[in-house]
Amino acid sequence: MSELQPAVAPRAVKALVQRIERDAARLERGVAFMEVCGTHTHAIARAGIRRMLPPNVRLISGPGCPVCVTPIDYMDRAVALARRADTIVATFGDLVRVPSSSSSLERESAAGHDVRIVYSPRDTLRIARENPDKHVVFLAVGFETTLPGIAAMLEEAELAQLANVRILAGAKLIEPPLRALIADGEIAVDGFLLPGHVSVILGADFYAFLEQELAVPGVIAGFAPADILLGVSRLVELALEGSARVENLYPRAVSQRGNPVARELLARWFEPEDSRWRGLGEIPLSGLRLRERFAHRDANRLEMQLDPTREPRGCRCGDMLKGKIEPHQCPLFDRACTPLNPVGACMVSGEGTCAAWYRHERLEVAR
């Protein structure tokens, strides 16, 4: 079943929906499963999977979109760096429209400051070579999936003695928020749809803590509709069995051990630190900072004129990232807040829950 290929997907989708309906009818209470990957959030919305499920099986979105969980003070620092005359900010495109307390990188770029959208962290090296008199700062936001590429870029900068390359570290780890959500207990999570991409690096064995310590089941799933439905179906079965197993339903990409080379690279450059998450607050040892011996690559060491931090008024991204509400329950959704005029980060990123609902589920909600 886990080797489903796109060619058999339509028939597989129908069979899986029927299987979920059949099994869900045997549940004694409604269940809620949380996806913790922005790509899953988007794929679920695009395929209309929520509407395929019986009413007693609910999918809720968690803190899986790296742009969305990045706190506003990180964007304030990015904006402050962009305003420095001797600094170029290099970033993936999804961060440029995220509001800071008083601006955004897009607005700073329009005001003449040097903000460059890049498609790979390695593009930072080219920009640094072309601009030897400027600091070139890459905005290092992401989970365990993105960070090895950034560490590799830094390693190359060291080898090439490119002294003007720095990063603004904003990386997050996936395990601490899962623990925090369960410990918090505000939301009853009956199982996790675990992130396919992050799991390629971490490996399936990494999630043993869910079963052994938190007693919450999880399935690692791919991103095609059949992959996701297979994951939901298995979570329903585990709920019926009362089991807290963690299963890898995506073995074509995720191994048991993950990618040790990528993890070693991460460990060489970064160490865990307490980190603030939008909506979840500070979570112990949930972020990554550069190790002290690489302090010369840390953009936080550059002087910055910071604006006072101000959260966007009325935005409920925080509740969204905890799975407490759905986008249409935010009073600003599709009114003051749209992808063209985003109030919060969840409406900006392609992986953000509000953006995914706006694109794919808005009309269904309006009915």
**Residue-by-residue DSSP string for 175-240:** HHHHHHHHHH-SS---EEEE-HHHHHHH-GGGGHHIIIII---EEE--SSHHHHHHHHHHHHHHHH
**CB burial of residue 307 (10 Å; 0-12, 13-18, 19+):** middle
Binding residue (CB under 6 A) for ligand SF4 from 89, 317, 321, 356: 317
Task: Count residues near ligand SF4 (CB under 6 A).
Answer: 14
Site string for ligand SF4, 322-351 (x = CB under 6 A): -----x--x-xx---x-----xx-xx----
Q: Is 354 in the site for ligand SF4 (CB under 6 A)?
A: yes
When the beta carbons of 103 and 145 are compared against ligand SF4, the nearer one is 103
Q: State in angstroms the smallest separation of the CB of 337 from ligand SF4.
A: 3
Nearest-10 Cα torsion for 336, 338, 344, 345: 180
| 238 close to 245: Cβ distance less than 8 angstroms | yes
Based on the shown chain and the rule CB under 6 A, indicate whether residue 315 belongs to the binding site for ligand SF4: yes
- Residues 268-307, one symbol each (x = binds ligand SF4 by CB under 6 A, - = not), give ----------------------------------------
Q: Is 58 helix (H, G, I), strand (E, B) or coil?
A: strand
169 three-state secondary structure? strand
Of 13-32, binders to ligand SF4 (CB under 6 A) are none
Closest CB to ligand SF4 among 147 and 315? Answer: 315
Strand partners, 281: 277
Q: Nearer Cβ to ligand SF4, position 27 or 325?
A: 325
Residue placing its CB nearer to ligand SF4 in the complex, 17 or 343: 343
* Position 180 contacts ligand SF4 (CB under 6 A): no
3-class DSSP assignment, residue 272: strand
- Give the nearest distance from C-beta 179 to ligand SF4 in angstroms: 24
Dig out the tokens for 61 from the structure.
């979105």
Nearer to ligand SF4, 207 or 357 (CB): 357
Residue 57 CA to residue 60 CA, distance in Å, equals: 10
337 burial type by CB count under 10 A (0-12 exposed, 13-18 middle, 19+ buried): buried
Interface with ligand SF4, residue 65, by CB under 6 A: no
List of residues contacting ligand SF4 (CB under 6 A): 315-317, 320, 327, 330, 332-333, 337, 343-344, 346-347, 354
